[in-house]
Chains A and B, each alone.
Chain A
């Protein structure tokens, strides 16, 4: 079992002929993801890698192939429209990898997607992977392994680091979700925790947070009220200075709010085991499985 993606995922790639889109589509296909269609306006009728039909619009792609999930690799200035397009075409899971999407674009796209009953993951995220079954996005497949741990993270390479440590220690994962490093994202920690709590195969959850905003604090309250499964947490940015954007648009301490110390305290207060460093994940998870 898994969350959000599984063997029924039928993927359409928005921006399939672009540099990033084509590279990662090949990787996803090699991993076993059912890529049913690609979209690049003006290239409808072509075939990608002799296997995947390319369409001019997402609506055409969905109608012809029954795609139920989309992944977006288009440039930042077109990304919000790509999200609107996927939602209009009736896609129910939209994963936006693109980094650099203007925040005000997301303030318009988010309520739109919600009203269409779809789920958006990202933007500025590595996507998600259900090891051995399906990957949507850019998480390297070879570092993952099937197993009982759900993982949700605001980061990309830090997620890989932790997954790698788990896999090396023989602890596999149900699904790893990168929710993205932007201030406004479609799916937050609570959405993922809720899904992991319901997923029978997930027995423990790793939550990788960082400075900025209050998502982790809200997630801590959710864990206290609704979760029976053990949760282990990490916060990146303990040494980050206030007022500076630490790479991720959302990773910024505003005034005195959104610090790592505040978030770690929120975790500890509700019994979430806090990793002092990424390598701690192995022991903390092992003793809780």
Chain B
């Protein structure tokens, strides 16, 4: 789950990291009032789960409250990478002496959290990694002991030669690591970490991505989810315990298992079609899940054909067949459905479907070809 910048800033502030003042606003007038209370030059930043906000026009400077209100009016309601901006963050526009990057990620190959720092901050760290990899420094952390003070200081000296600044940065790193662990994050980064003209190290922008698997035991973080910032169909799917990701094609896919779901999308493309979505009904095979899946897929106006690809293991094919029948009784499905089922209770499933005049296939390639042909 992605947190908004303002939420991430709040977590960092609680961890004791210096973060500039500022507040969020949901209307232009509110933004004006926040700017007024801050005084002086401010920056108005769109709060959406998308990178490249600045390039999209979602980050603007304003000299005073009136201008802040004006630019907030433009940013609120604009669409960045398909997401509508409902909230802006208004913060003082800082004078900056230097910009660095600091972040904590989970390094999959090292099986461990890893701290990354770079003196080349302020731009996308991927760009730094691609263009000047020698400017990125890493420290693997043994999660059982946490980030050790000497490790933090060693990294901090890669950013600043001055020991006063290095000690401040080391403190930020230790606190950032703690905030990362406390939030159950898979990524926590400050970009840029800046030095003010007064010589203070401050976190100007913050990004935290939380591991979805942590949410059950962290209700406070889970409550930070902003459903207005997500695709409504994806929210609906999550509530029905389905994993659904909307794409731009027209062949709706309903599959059990993530790997098979991806391979099914790929096969749709292989046979000249375009998948409309990723949808995994998961391991158990409650017929209700199938009903919900069909409801979500049929609500997508782009979908011109629906493809079921079920390999029964724990998932029972007869449960899926019953779900399909139940769904077609509850609401009208106007696009053709192609069904492939094999594995556990396949024979019963074929009988159930035959009863309502729906044929079932056993071969994945054949089913995908038919679905693509029906679009």
**Interface residues in chain A, defined as those with a beta carbon under 8 Å from any beta carbon in chain B:** 76-77, 99-104, 106-108, 110-112, 126, 138-140, 143, 153-161, 164, 181, 183-184, 208, 210-215, 218, 234, 236-241, 244-251, 255-257, 260, 276-279
Which chain B residues border A237 with CB–CB below 8 Å? 262, 266
Complex: how many Å from CA A157 to CA B212? 22
B181 within 8 A of A: yes
B148 within 8 A of A: no
Known A104-B143, A215-B108; judge A246-B261 contact (CB<8 A). yes
Within 8 A of A (CB), among B117-161: 124, 126, 142-144
Are B269 and A215 in contact, CB atoms less than 8 angstroms apart?
Answer: no
A250 closest partner in B (C-beta): B108
What range describes how many residues of B lie at the interface? Answer: 35 or more
B186 within 8 A of A: yes
User: With A140-B343, A184-B111, A239-B268 given, can you name 13 additional A-B contacts, CB distance below 8 Å?
Assistant: A76-B216, A110-B112, A111-B142, A157-B315, A161-B263, A237-B262, A241-B247, A244-B245, A246-B261, A246-B278, A247-B262, A249-B211, A276-B270
Are B342 and A164 in contact, CB atoms less than 8 angstroms apart?
Answer: yes
Complex: how many Å from CA A8 to CA B112? 33
Which chain B residues border A155 with CB–CB below 8 Å? 257-260
Are A164 and B265 in contact, CB atoms less than 8 angstroms apart?
Answer: no
Within 8 A of A (CB), among B309-340: 311-315
Known A103-B106, A249-B211; judge A158-B263 contact (CB<8 A). yes
Are A101 and B213 in contact, CB atoms less than 8 angstroms apart?
Answer: yes
Are A210 and B259 in contact, CB atoms less than 8 angstroms apart?
Answer: yes
Question: A131 to nearest B CB, angstroms?
Answer: 15
Which chain A residues border B342 with CB–CB below 8 Å? 164
A-B contacts counted at CB < 8 A amount to: 167
Main secondary structure of the interface of A (DSSP, over half): loop
User: Pick the contact of B262 from A159, A210, A215 — CB < 8 Å?
Assistant: A210
Known A111-B111, A278-B364; judge A247-B258 contact (CB<8 A). yes
Question: A236 to nearest B CB, angstroms?
Answer: 4
Which chain B residues border A260 with CB–CB below 8 Å? 266
A245 closest partner in B (C-beta): B212
Are A102 and B364 in contact, CB atoms less than 8 angstroms apart?
Answer: no
Are A111 and B343 in contact, CB atoms less than 8 angstroms apart?
Answer: no
User: Pick the contact of B258 from A102, A208, A251, A278 — CB < 8 Å?
Assistant: A251
Which chain A residues border B191 with CB–CB below 8 Å? none
Question: B171 to nearest A CB, angstroms?
Answer: 22
Within 8 A of A (CB), among B73-127: 106, 108-109, 111-113, 124, 126
